[in-house]
Amino acid sequence: MATWRNGYAEDCKSFYPSSILGVASKIWMFMDKRILKIASDTNNVSFLKNHTHKSKLKNSMCGDVINIYLVIKKNKIIKFKFNGDNCVYCQASASLLSKIVIKKNISKVNKLLKEANNCFKTKKKIIDGEWKDYLKIMNKDNAFKRECLLLPLKATLKAIKN
Distance CA 12, CA 109 (A): 47
What is the chain's pLDDT, residue by residue, as a tens digit (162 residues)?
444 444 444 444 344 444 444 444 444 445 668 888 888 888 989 999 999 999 999 999 889 999 999 999 999 999 999 999 999 999 999 999 999 889 989 888 888 777 777 776 665 555 566 677 777 788 777 888 889 999 999 999 999 988
Complete edge-to-edge strand list for the sheet that includes strand 76-85? 53-58, 65-73, 76-85
What are the chain's domains?
A: 4-30 (no CATH), 37-161 (3.90.1010.10)
Q: Reduce the secondary structure of 108-155 to three states and give it as a string.
A: HHHHHHHHHHHHHCCCCCCCCHHHHHHHHCCCHHHHHHHHHHHHHHHH
